[in-house]
Structure 1
Amino acid sequence: MNLLFESKRIAALLTVVPANEQSFIDDMKAFDFPEARSRKLMEVMGYDRHRLVSPGTCVSDLAVFGFEHLFDKHGLERDSLDALILVTQTPDYLMPPTSSIIQGRLGLKQDMFCVDINQGCAGFVIGLMQAFMLLDQKHIQRVALVNADVISRKTSPRDRNSYPLVGDAASITVVEKASAAGTTHANVKFDGTRHGALMIPAGGMRMPSSAATAELSDAGDHNFRALDHLTMEGSDVFTFVQTEVPPMIASLCDDAGVSKEQIEWFLFHQPNRFMLQKLADKIGIPHAKVPMNVVEKYGNSSGVTIPMAIVENLSEVLNDREALVCLAGFGVGLTWASMLMRLGRLDVCEMVQYA
Structure 2
Amino acid sequence: MNLRFAGKRITGLLTVLPAYERLFVDEMANYNFSPARSLKLKDVMGYDRRRIVDGPVCVSDLAVAGFEHLFARGQLAPSDIDALVVVTQSPDYLMPGTASVIHGRLGLGYDVFCLDINQGCAGFVVGLIQAFMLLDQPAIAKVALVNGDVLSRKVSPRDRNSYPLIGDGAAITIVERDPNAAVVHASLKMDGSRGGALTIPAGGMRQPCSAETAELHEDAEGNSRAADHLVMDGSAVFNFVMTEVPALVDALLRDTGTSVDDVDAFLFHQPNRFMLHKLAEKLGAPYEKMPSNVVEQYGNSSGVTIPVATASNFAERLRRETLTVCFGGFGVGLTWSALLMELGPLEFCEMIDFPSQGADHG
Q: TM-score range by the shorter chain?
A: over 0.9
**What one-letter code is carried by the residue in structure 1 that aligns with 2:194?**
R
TM-aligned CA deviation for residue 251 of structure 1 = 1.2
Task: State the partner residue of 1:54.
Answer: 54
Where do residues 158-173 of structure 1 align in structure 2 (5 Å cutoff)? 158-173=158-173
Deviations 1:44-91 (A, max 9, x none): 111101111012100100000000001002431111100000000000
TM-aligned CA deviation for residue 160 of structure 1 = 1.6
The alignment yields a C-alpha RMSD, in angstroms, of: 0.8
Which whole-Å CA distance do the structure 2 matches of 1:128 and 1:220 have between them? 40
Task: State the partner residue of 1:33.
Answer: 33
Task: State the partner residue of 1:253.
Answer: 253
Deviates more, 1:101-110 or 1:29-38: 29-38
Deviations 1:10-55 (A, max 9, x none): 1110000001000011111222422222222111111101111012
Task: State the partner residue of 2:196.
Answer: 196
Task: State the partner residue of 2:149.
Answer: 149
CA contact (8 A) 2:156 2:163 kept: yes
Deviations 1:210-237 (A, max 9, x none): 1111111112232110001000000000
Task: State the partner residue of 1:113.
Answer: 113
Question: TM-score scaled by structure 2?
Answer: 0.97
Deviates more, 1:130-139 or 1:250-259: 250-259
Which whole-Å CA distance do the structure 2 matches of 1:105 and 1:16 have between them? 17
**What one-letter code is carried by the residue in structure 2 that aligns with 1:182?**
A
TM-aligned CA deviation for residue 254 of structure 1 = 1.9
Which whole-Å CA distance do the structure 2 matches of 1:131 and 1:159 have between them? 36
Task: State the partner residue of 2:346.
Answer: 346
Deviations 1:69-117 (A, max 9, x none): 0100243111110000000000000011110000000011111100000
TM-aligned CA deviation for residue 199 of structure 1 = 0.4
Task: State the partner residue of 2:329.
Answer: 329
CA contact (8 A) 2:200 2:229 kept: yes
Percent identity among equivalent residues? 61
TM-aligned CA deviation for residue 301 of structure 1 = 0.5
Task: State the partner residue of 1:77.
Answer: 77
List runs of 5+ in structure 1 lacking aligned partners.
Answer: none
Which whole-Å CA distance do the structure 2 matches of 1:224 and 1:86 have between them? 32
Task: State the partner residue of 2:221.
Answer: 221
1:266 is aligned to 2:262: no
CA contact (8 A) 2:32 2:223 kept: no
CA contact (8 A) 2:169 2:301 kept: yes
Task: State the partner residue of 1:241.
Answer: 241
Where do residues 288-299 of structure 1 align in structure 2 (5 Å cutoff)? 288-299=288-299
Question: TM-score scaled by structure 1?
Answer: 0.99
Which whole-Å CA distance do the structure 2 matches of 1:188 and 1:200 have between them? 23
Q: 1:36 to 1:198 in 2, by over 3 A?
A: same
Which whole-Å CA distance do the structure 2 matches of 1:195 and 1:116 have between them? 20
CA contact (8 A) 2:75 2:348 kept: no
Deviates more, 1:72-81 or 1:233-242: 72-81
Which whole-Å CA distance do the structure 2 matches of 1:160 and 1:185 have between them? 37
TM-aligned CA deviation for residue 186 of structure 1 = 0.2
